[in-house]
Amino acid sequence: MFQMRSANLVIPSPGFTGVITVPLAGTPVNGGAVSSSTGFILKGHTANTNVVWVFARGLTKAVGFPLASRESIYVPVASLDTLDFDSEVNGERICFIIAIGN
């Protein structure tokens, strides 16, 4: 039997991970109302064939950060709705997980 004995154990709420899909390249998609007090780790989906751009809501990918398949970045934002995503190819995806801190 497995037992955890840590006072620092944080059990995330449902929805702490997810996938954001850009259905139409060139049309930014907002990250949505997922919040976190510790930020997010974003990762290019393993099936992506090109980059997905991450940038502040209301801006464009011209000032964004490119994430290729399997690349990741920590983003210290309180909500994914502050970020937009765009891609070079239809259907590309970004995976996210809420960063858990002590």
Helix (H, G, I), strand (E, B) or coil at 36: coil
The runs of H, that is alpha helices, within the chain are none
In the chain, domain spans: 17-98
- How far is Cα 16 from Cα 14, in angstroms, rounded to an integer? 6
Per-residue pLDDT, 15 = 62
CATH annotation of 17-98: 2.60.120
Q: What are phi and psi of 4, to 5 degrees?
A: -100, 130
Per-residue pLDDT of the chain (102 residues; tens, 9 = 90+): 333 333 444 445 556 789 999 999 999 999 999 999 999 999 999 999 999 999 999 999 999 999 999 999 999 999 999 999 999 999 999 999 998 765
